[in-house]
Amino acid sequence: DTEVTQTPKHLVMGMTNKKSLKCEQHMGHRAMYWYKQKAKKPPELMFVYSYEKLSINESVPSRFSPECPNSSLLNLHLHALQPEDSALYLCASSQEEWTGGTYGYTFGSGTRLTVV
């Protein structure tokens, strides 16, 4: 299995809702990442987990809360989002933190989030 799987693929939520994005990989990668991507822009780093511990938080607002329950799973909990948070949220993994390995950083297909 050489994939990163993200669910759901699409999500529409109100500004008072609480929702979660999920990411899963079974490649034995020990680093996992959350990126945010706006249309026509490159992905922007949000969080990095290394060996299930939060390594980097790129000054992301607290309405985004990451969680790494185990080495294969990464969640992003969402609460009280704003319309400007609407974007494609991408999960990625790599063998070690910031070590690309044989195939670089593997990205999931993303969750298209719309905040209304």
Q: Which residue has the tokens 């529409």?
A: 12
Please report whether residue 97 would count as binding another protein according to CB under 8 A.
Answer: yes
Q: Which residue has the tokens 């990989």?
A: 25
Please report whether residue 93 would count as binding another protein according to CB under 8 A.
Answer: no
C-alpha to C-alpha distance for 74 and 91, rounded to whole angstroms: 8
Please report whether residue 11 would count as binding another protein according to CB under 8 A.
Answer: no
By CB under 8 A, name the one of 90, 93, 113, 115 that touches another protein. Answer: 90
Please report whether residue 53 would count as binding another protein according to CB under 8 A.
Answer: no
Please report whether residue 95 would count as binding another protein according to CB under 8 A.
Answer: no
Residue 94 · residue 104 · CB < 8 Å:
yes
By CB under 8 A, name the one of 41, 61, 69, 116 that touches another protein. Answer: 41
Q: Which residue has the tokens 């929702």?
A: 19
